[in-house]
Amino acid sequence: MNLHGIVVAAGRGERFGGPKAVVLLGGIPLWVRAVESLRQAGALTVTVVGAAPGGIPGGIRRRDSVAAGLAALPSDASHVLVHDAARPLASASLGRLVAARLQVGDVDGVVPGIPVADTLKQVEGARVVTTVSRSGLIAVQTPQGFVLDALREAHRADDSDATDDAQLVERNGGSVVFVPGETSNLKITRPEDLAIAEAWLP
């Protein structure tokens, strides 16, 4: 398996108040933490997409930024880990777990996830319509791992937006499985999330 990585760091960070990737967590930029996690997980190279030193330009949508990263991968790449700079606490062990499951060879993609703990309600405006069963639901994280050909084909086949790359692979008929994620692998969305992330630092 010729494994490489992509770190998406091109988000505008509207809910955060500005680009998040260059924000410091424990004195280290978020994008640097994400890159190092993939390197320690076994990625031979890591392409950063977005406003980071050495990064390549991203797109308007997240999927456009991932496509730019895919185009920049080495020609001999066979598998890829796609990670978000906004998840700086993902451990190298999690990346290795995703990669190991991917290497088994019977799937197109692998995502880490944790069971949904909160009660879920479907609403219309302010009115609660129904309670949604949590059975069989997980909250998905990154890094996500893919057979490179399957992910590229999914991007070519569907130009609509998606919240993650696994959604594109699913739409294209690909097989995606999950492995246990990490509670500490939180997503930095708002400024207060940084304080929570600081508490998780060793």
* Token pair 């998905």 in the structure block, residue: 140
For residue 179, the model assigns a pLDDT of 98
Burial, 159: exposed, middle or buried (Cβ in 10 Å; 0-12, 13-18, 19+)?
A: exposed
CA distance 156 to 33: 30
CA distance 96 to 98: 5
pLDDT band at 202; cut points 50, 70, 90:
confident
Question: Exposure string (b/e) for 93-125, b if CB count within 10 Å is 16 or more?
Answer: ebbebbbebbeeeebbbbbbbeeeeeeeeeeee
Kindly report the pTM of this predicted structure: 0.94
Chain segment 145-200, per-residue pLDDT in tens: 999 999 999 999 988 999 999 999 999 999 999 999 999 999 998 889 999 999 99
For residue 16, the model assigns a pLDDT of 63
The letter for the amino acid at 106 is D
The C-alpha angle 109, 111, 114, rounded to 5 degrees, equals 155
pLDDT band at 19; cut points 50, 70, 90:
confident
* Region 3-200: CATH code: 3.90.550.10
SS (H, E, C) the chain: CCEEEEEEECCCCCCCCCCCCCCEECCEEHHHHHHHHHHHHCCCCEEEEECCCCCECCCCCHHHHHHHHHHCCCCCCCEEEEEECCCCCCCHHHHHHHHHHHHCCCCCEEEEEEECCCCEEEEECCEEEEEECCCCCEEECCCEEEEHHHHHHHHHHCCCCCCCHHHHHHHCCCCEEEEECCCCCCCCCCHHHHHHHHHHCC
For residue 14, the model assigns a pLDDT of 57
Mean pLDDT of 62-80: 96
For residue 15, the model assigns a pLDDT of 58
